[in-house]
């Protein structure tokens, strides 16, 4: 049985994801609930949710909906660990539990956003997300970014709620102008 705060969050997220047909409305409605969840993260995150990996950031599953329409992860970022440049194919709401997470966005200049080659990406803005911060993204156009923690900063831990089971996404090679669909692993 999940913690009461986590159970309420999952219930709200499930209802809102079913009620809101527009992803932007869904994430706008969920962001305050993520902020509340962050305030109680110590009540439901267990030792295995803080599991790290020496080679790359760790994705630790906290909740998976029976129909795979929602997933919540605790991501652990050791100093110097970054995602590849990627998108999500989903809406999402992210909250920071500890440390400072850095997000560097990319803008797709290509008219056809469904291609796997000939993709022109340029660097966009950067956001520093301290503990308690909440951010969100929507698909179509998908949010393309790289996220991580520079080597000189301490570990960060973040909660990521997605509008699907986040077990795959596109990664981009900015210089080659290509993308590929990859499967991603998580700790159960």
Does residue 188 sit within a domain? no
Predicted TM-score of the model (pTM): 0.95
Does residue 37 sit within a domain? yes
Task: Encode 109-168 in three state secondary structure.
Answer: CCCCCCCCCCCCEEEEEEEEECCCCEEEECCCCCCEEEEECCCCCCCEEEEEEECCCCCE
> Looking at the 3D structure of the chain, how many domains does it have?
1
Q: Please write the tens of the pLDDT for every residue from 131-160.
A: 999 999 998 778 999 999 999 999 999 999
8 A C-beta contact, residue 180 and residue 85? no
- pLDDT the model gives residue 113: 79
8 A C-beta contact, residue 58 and residue 75? yes
Residues 6+ apart with CB under 8 A from 143: 87, 88, 105, 137
- pLDDT the model gives residue 2: 66
CATH number at residue 157: 2.60.120.10
Q: Please write the tens of the pLDDT for every residue from 78-118.
A: 999 999 999 999 999 999 999 999 999 999 998 887 889 99
Does residue 131 sit within a domain? yes
β-pairing, 58-64 vs 71-77, is antiparallel
Does residue 15 sit within a domain? yes
Does residue 11 sit within a domain? yes
Query: Which residues form the domain of 158?
Result: 4-183
Does residue 153 sit within a domain? yes
């Amino acid at each position: 049985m999940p913690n009461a705060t986590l159970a309420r969050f999952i219930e709200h997220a499930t209802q809102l994801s079913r009620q809101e047909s527009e992803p932007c409305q869904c994430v706008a409605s969920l962001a305050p609930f993520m902020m509340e969840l962050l305030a109680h993260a110590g009540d439901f995150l267990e030792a295995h949710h803080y599991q790290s990996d020496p080679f790359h950031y760790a994705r630790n599953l906290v909740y998976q909906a029976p129909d795979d329409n929602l997933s919540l992860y605790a991501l652990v970022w050791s100093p110097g660990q970054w995602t590849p440049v990627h998108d999500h194919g989903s809406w999402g709401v992210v909250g920071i539990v500890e440390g400072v997470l850095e997000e560097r966005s990319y803008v797709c200049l290509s008219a056809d956003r469904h291609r796997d080659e000939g993709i022109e990406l340029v660097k966009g803005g950067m956001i520093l997300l301290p503990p308690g911060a909440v951010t969100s993204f929507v698909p179509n156009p998908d949010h393309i970014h790289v996220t991580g923690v520079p080597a000189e900063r301490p570990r960060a831990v973040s909660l990521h709620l997605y509008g699907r089971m986040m077990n795959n996404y596109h990664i981009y090679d900015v210089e080659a102008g290509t993308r590929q669909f990859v499967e991603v692993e998580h700790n159960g």
